[in-house]
Amino acid sequence: MRRDLSFVLAAALGVAPAVGCNQKSPPPGGAAPAPATPITVVKPERRAIKRVIEQPGTVTAFEETVLHAKLPGFVGKIADDPEKANRPPHDRQTDIGSRVKAGQVLAVLTMPELDEEWKQKVALVKQAEAEVVQSEKAAEAMKAGVTAAESLVTVAEAGVDRSQALYERWQKEVDRIAKLLGNGVGDSQTLDETKNQLRAAEAGQKEATARVTAARAAVKKAVADEAKAVADVVGAKAKLEVARAEVNRLDALRSYTAIKAPFDGVVTRRSVNTGDLVSGTEKTGLFTVARTDPVRVVVNVPEADAGQVAVGQDVRLALQGPEQVGKVIRTSWSLEPGSRTLRTEIDLPNEIGALRPGMFVHAKLTIELPAAWSVPAAAVGKSGDDAIMYTVESGKAARVTVQLIKGDGQFTQVRRYKKSSATDWTDVTGSEQFASPTAALADGQAVP
């Protein structure tokens, strides 16, 4: 009944009815209908896939350093570029495009107050050196004073022995004369004189003993003075080290007056002229130096392929001139939050400077994926966010949602599939039958 109704409608519209399940009505004007897309049935095959990742890239300098002034000062001189010796005087300065060597002076700053402070510190070093010599001489003198004091102790002790002997002599003399007087020989005057001599000898003995005590005290004082002199030497030497450290500090600061290239490279920016006042806070810096041998080629690989990129992998690079082959040297490992891409870097030699930062590069990374169940790419389609395929069951196409691995444009690796009525996934085993191309199929369509 429906077929009869279709004939009636077709007659009313003046269009011939379609014959066959895949035939369409001819377009107005009598043109011949397009041939139907042939439907084929395929089975998954285990196949290793070589996937080519093609992404644009950019040449960047291997290093790029912005040189700032550490201390405030005036630009006293922009250094001459040795390679411009034959140019006019006004064009001999280091400028953008100048090729420089590591340590080459690009500009010199003037800081008069720093120079004067340096001179003062140098003078203080000389003063401290003189004080060290003076204290060392004083220490030597104090050491000699200890020796002299010790010799005086020896002399004083000898005086004690001498006075003791003299005392004993006069003591015996008094005893002898007193004995003679007892026997009625001699006179009392001689005894009195002898006793006076004895008392003099006794006083001399006490004096000699006091001299020993004084000499020993003098030794102690000399030893203390020597120790102080030695400490003065240590203090003078420490003061000298402090003075030298101050000179070294100012030498370090004065070294900052020379703005030097950190490595071999090219000056890509110059922001100062002779006489400019710089403070070290300039955002643009004084010079920018780029290291251009080697250069980095930066390629941002999309998230879908990021896991397949590995260090050491070959990369074909299309630049100006012949195609070059490089290797992945490093990756950022983590993806950029915004673009969700993996920063991949390839280093290229650039001895003659043919590659310049900012140049465009077309990169091709070939990745060989392990063997997995694969089907022709035409057998896979999209429905919204899902990948779909059609299985062949009882001669009809049944749409299934599939989970894919990777593809190379000709074949696509499939992990598993799920029917619309199922809740669990089914792993692909190779026994399945899939219809292709997906674009020419509909769910439930008969498959010859």
Q: What is the pLDDT of residues 380-414, one digit of tens each?
A: 999 888 999 999 988 889 999 999 988 888 899 99
Cα gap 402→398, rounded to integer Å: 12
The stretch 306-318 carries a mean pLDDT of 91
Q: What is the share, in percent, of the chain residues with pLDDT greater than 90?
A: 53
Contact criterion met (CB below 8 Å) for 327 and 297: no
Cα gap 191→94, rounded to integer Å: 113
pLDDT at 189: 82
pLDDT at 251 over 80: yes
Instruction: Place 36 in a pLDDT band, splitting at 50, 70 and 90.
Output: low
| Residue 311: HSE in the Cβ half-sphere, 13 Å Cα cutoff | 5
For residue 227, give every residue at least 6 positions away whose Cβ sits within 8 Å of its Cβ, in sequence order, or none: none
pTM: 0.64
Instruction: Place 4 in a pLDDT band, splitting at 50, 70 and 90.
Output: very low
pLDDT at 29 over 90: no
What domains, with CATH codes, occur in the chain? 1-32 (no CATH), 50-56+288-369 (2.40.30.170), 69-107+258-278 (2.40.50), 114-255 (1.10.287.620)
140 SS3 class: helix
Tens-digit pLDDT profile for residues 169-215: 888 888 888 888 877 776 778 878 888 888 888 888 888 888 888 88
